[in-house]
Amino acid sequence: MDFSAVAKILIVFFGVLTISRIRIPLGVGLIGGGLLLDLWSGKSLQVLPADFWQALMRPELWLLTINISLIMEIGHFMASDENGKAIVSLARRYGGKHGQAASLVLIPAAIGLVPLPGGALFSAPLVGQSAENSSSPEWKAAVNYWFRHILEYWWPLYPVVIVTLSIFTLQTWKFMLLQIPFTFVSLSAGYFFLLRHKTFSFTADDPASEQELPSIVQVLLPIIIIVLATLLLPGFFHKIMPGLNPASSKLLSMLTGLVISLALIRFGRANYSRKMFSDLFTLKTLNVFLTLGG
């Protein structure tokens, strides 16, 4: 039976999903699926290793892998205890008769500015501690999970956005403008189903402890630097390296912002206690790399 190209892709896609259900890492399944598609498209077994090596040696793959590694480190920074408390403190300041919903949304959304494997687990305690005890755990979990992901449609630090921008030649700012409306749809749906009829308030906090927290500018500055570099530097790299393809220039721009931001965290935040890159060589991180490679 002769299948169309779309049918082959769909069959392999559902095959990858199926084997991921039996504890085979998604990255391994994606790599295997890619090799299967190569064979199914008419390539011989003799050509397969050369194709695999060619894909492995693409600079975009390694730039993407490095960027995601550094983004994960920024994510750990955002999820640190002192930064989490600073974000909650900011949310409380926005509280009031008409600002409670916006304040509660801000907590998971701010932590979600930087994606992290299992990241919802980092923001969940902040939402749980902030909302009143009378709110059900299920409702708090729903609020945390939903509003943590409202930016993933266009925010340039999300892997799916990075991969999309590396595949297509569309400029980053144009992609962001096209995708931003989905965030407003997500916000509206979250408000309608989760917050509209809910009465809640923030738990009290010790004002003295808030004075010891980093300012919101200190917390968000590394992210602002990364986003600005991603938006502004591709043209610069294209000028100094005319042979660079658009995908590499975007990834290199982001890498520049990431390096500057991590240097700022390392040397500008003396009280940041976490050892950098301590989670780099773990099975969870390896699975992320395999998924990206696939």
pLDDT at 181: 96
Q: Is 140 helix (H, G, I), strand (E, B) or coil?
A: helix
Q: Cβ neighbours of residue 163 under 8 Å, at least 6 residues apart?
A: 64, 292
pLDDT at 64: 85
| Residue 180 backbone phi and psi in degrees, to 5 | -55, -40
pLDDT at 254: 92
pTM value? Answer: 0.77
> What is the tens place of the pLDDT at every residue in 19-41?
888 878 777 888 888 888 888 88
Tokens for 98?
């008409």
pLDDT over 50 at 208, yes or no: no
DSSP string, 118-137: TTHHHHHHHHHHHB-TTS-H
> What is the tens place of the pLDDT at every residue in 169-192?
888 899 999 999 999 999 999 989
pLDDT at 97: 47
